[in-house]
Amino acid sequence: MSRLAVPALALLLAACTSAPGPSAQPDTAPSPESADTAEARGAAVGLAAAQVEALRALGPPVLVPRAMEGYTLEAVEIDEAYRPAVSYTLRWRRADGACVEVLGTNDGIGGPDYPIVSAEVAMPYLPGAPQARVYQAAADPQATSAQNWGPETVVSDFVTVGEEPEWMAVWLLSSDANGCRPIGLEAAASVLASLRPLDPDARLAMDGMMDGGALGTFADADDALVDLQTDLPLITDPEADVAQALAGWEAQSVRTETVRQSDAAVHVLATLTGLMDDSVRDERLLLVFIPDLGGWQLLSVGRQVRCHAGRGHQDWSAELCL
């Protein structure tokens, strides 16, 4: 039975054990005024400060999830013995024994023969909001995909980030290796969709921004995301549900439209004009939804604004008003 080959690992920064251990803690807590740092992003997924620095020292961009609630970071493995070829593996484990790994390498990666069952995943925290697929092998041990990969193993496409010479191919893997069990297709898709640069200054995107295509760049609107996630616990029709949720917001008019749609994601644009604000005249929100248990889950919200006269720009922009 053949399995996905992971590059040899020369530096082990966290012990790889078959039982979950305590999450790694950062050496120093990030200060409030510098909350969006590599250390803070690392700490959010269990990485210690020394591990963050070792990953950054690889050179090419490193991707990590935004959060891993319910999981414990189990292993951080780095290989830089054959520079300029480098690689890394991060593994998290749930209390029920399910594990998931995020792997990256700038060495030759080949082209694996993927299992058949798959799902398309939108990745809004990367430049251009690329889409990738996540695949799952059959549960039947006699099935060809299970024989090649292991029953129910989940693996994703390679996602390339960065530019020559500092690039990295990153992918996701969840299997029965290391005493684990696969986390399932939907859970793996959620982790893949949340990947973002470990280092906010990585040369691959303006993080904190969303690419709206022809609409331009949108600033992250986490406040609106929290409000709408509360107002939209169950989403069956993204555009209609958004229109209903925004009906009570303080604006003279609210218009919603679906601007992009695929099996992987739905993008809804909500335009609010005549806001009750002395600085911001109009606002538009770009909402990204991904499939979730027969419905939709709100993944991210971006914001553009137009300012009142004398308070800043008059065209749609991610920049703040005065």
Domain positions in the chain are: 11-206, 210-307
Q: Which pLDDT band holds residue 17 (cuts at 50, 70, 90)?
A: very low
* Lowest mean pLDDT segment, chosen from 122-131, 173-182, 215-224, 247-256: 122-131
| CB count in 10 Å sphere of residue 62 | 28
CATH T-level assignment (fold) for domain 210-307 = Double Stranded RNA Binding Domain (3.30.160)
What are the CA-CA distances from residue 175 to residues 128, 153, 256 (Å)?
Answer: 30, 5, 41
Q: pLDDT tens digit string along 114-166?
A: 446 888 888 888 876 778 888 898 888 888 778 878 899 999 988 888 755 57
Q: pLDDT tens digit string along 237-257?
A: 999 999 999 998 989 999 999
Q: Which of 240, 241, 228 is nearest to 299 (CA)?
A: 228
Q: Which pLDDT band holds residue 82 (cuts at 50, 70, 90)?
A: confident
32, pLDDT greater than 80: no
pLDDT for position 128: 64
Q: pLDDT tens digit string along 286-319?
A: 998 877 777 888 888 989 999 999 999 999 998 9
What pTM, to 2 d.p., does this model score? 0.54
67-96 burial code (b ≥16 CB/10 A, e <16): ebeebbbbbbbbbbeeeeebbbbbbbbbee
Mean per-residue pLDDT, 70-87: 91
Q: Which pLDDT band holds residue 209 (cuts at 50, 70, 90)?
A: low
12, pLDDT greater than 80: no
| Euclidean distance between CA atoms 79 and 104, whole angstroms | 10
3/161: higher pLDDT: 161
* Lowest mean pLDDT segment, chosen from 97-106, 254-263, 291-300: 291-300
